[in-house]
Structure formats: C-alpha cells, structure tokens
C-alpha cells in the first residue's frame, strides 16, 4: 500500500469520529471581513480598519437570514494588533448578537513571511421567538414551546495567519467553547 492510500484512509478515519458543530453567521466576503472569522488578523494591515457589512438572503421570505457586522482593528505597537467585532445574526425565529475582542501577536519568520497568532474572547446573547419566521398550520402544537430571552454565552477563539506580500493562509477556530442553545426535548 502506497503512502497516498494511507493518507486517504487516515483522513476518512478522522471524518468518521464524533463531531460537534455550531451555527455561525455565513459570510461570502471573507477577504473583506476576516476579523469575524480569524482573530489573528487583527492589526495585520498596518493601519486602523473599520469594516461594516450587511447580508440578506432570500429577500421577501419570512424568517430569511439577515446578518450585519461591524469591526474595527489596528496595530498597537510593532507586533501587537487589537480588534473589536460586533455581529447581529437573524435566522427564522432566532436572533443572536456577538461581541468579541481580538488580540494578535505577529512574528516575522524571514524577510518575506510573517506569522500572526490570535486569541479572542467575548459573548453571545441568544433570543428565540417561536412566533417569528415560521409558516405553520393553525393549531399546530409543535411550536407551543417557550421562547428564550437574552441567554448569555461566553466565547473564546484562536487563529493563525501566515502571510507575505502576495500570499496568505489562515487557520482558525472561531469558538472553542461548546454551548447548548436549547433542549428541544424539554
């Protein structure tokens, strides 16, 4: 068996393990709004940057996804970057507001490449109103549950950002902490 086959089996084996996911806001313009995804990006442009985006999908459909984001970041000193990111995300009956502080530290690897390490911490405030964004039959009892008002969750994330003048690559975990928004069986 050659090495390529071994790598393929190793990757397939990792995919088959238990995983947990989170519903984070969707963005199509990561190059415009990298701070919302990767904390290591804070301050890497070398000047203060303010970014605002609005995304609406399926316009005219009740409960359609809508996301707004506002971020500001910039360098503080030679190797440190700081940033703030605020996101409002609406999807069907749920609404979530995110607030994150981002910190990055950059290490020059050589004259062409720099590697930034990032950490972020913040919060999410989650609301769930089963009367919004749902099409249902009159008398349908499946959505007679109580909603959720202002449920608070702490967040923590980390990232790496390797760059040169012409190339870049990033790796991040936007939220390391596992949270349970609600128990639908309750």
**pLDDT tens figures, 29-88:** 677 888 988 999 999 999 999 999 988 888 888 888 899 999 999 999 899 999 999 999
pLDDT value of position 164:
94
Letter string b/e over residues 136-164, b meaning 16 or more CB atoms within 10 A of that residue's CB: eeeeeeeeeeeeeeeeebebebbbbbebe
Confidence category of residue 186, pLDDT binned at 50, 70, 90: very low
The strand ranges marked E within 7-93 are 49-56, 66-76, 80-91
Tokens of 54: 């609005």
Identify the DSSP state of 26.
P
Per-residue pLDDT at 134 exceeds 90: no
Q: Which of 113, 98, 107, 117 is nearest to 39 (CA)?
A: 117
Within 8 A by CB and 6+ apart from 120, the residues are: 39, 85, 100, 101, 102, 103, 155, 156, 157, 158, 159, 174
What is the H or E stretch that residue 6 is in? helix 3-15
Mean pLDDT of the chain: 83
């Amino acid at each position: 068996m050659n090495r390529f086959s071994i790598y393929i089996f190793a990757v397939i084996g990792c995919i088959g393990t238990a995983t947990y996911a989170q519903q984070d806001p969707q963005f199509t313009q990561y190059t415009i709004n990298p701070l919302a995804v990767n904390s290591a990006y804070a301050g890497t442009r070398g000047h203060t940057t303010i970014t605002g985006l609005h995304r609406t999908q399926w316009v005219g459909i009740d409960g359609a996804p809508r996301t707004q984001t506002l971020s500001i970041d910039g360098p503080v000193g030679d190797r440190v970057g700081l940033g703030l990111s605020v996101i409002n995300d609406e999807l069907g009956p749920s609404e979530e507001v995110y607030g994150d502080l981002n910190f990055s530290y950059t290490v020059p690897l050589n004259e062409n490449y720099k590697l930034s390490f990032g950490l972020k911490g913040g919060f999410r405030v989650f609301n769930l109103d089963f009367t919004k964004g749902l099409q249902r039959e009159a008398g349908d009892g499946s959505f007679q549950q109580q909603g959720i008002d202002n449920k608070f969750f702490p967040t923590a994330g980390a990232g790496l950002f390797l760059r040169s003048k012409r190339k870049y690559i990033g790796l991040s975990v936007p939220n390391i902490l596992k949270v349970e928004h609600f128990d639908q069986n309750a």
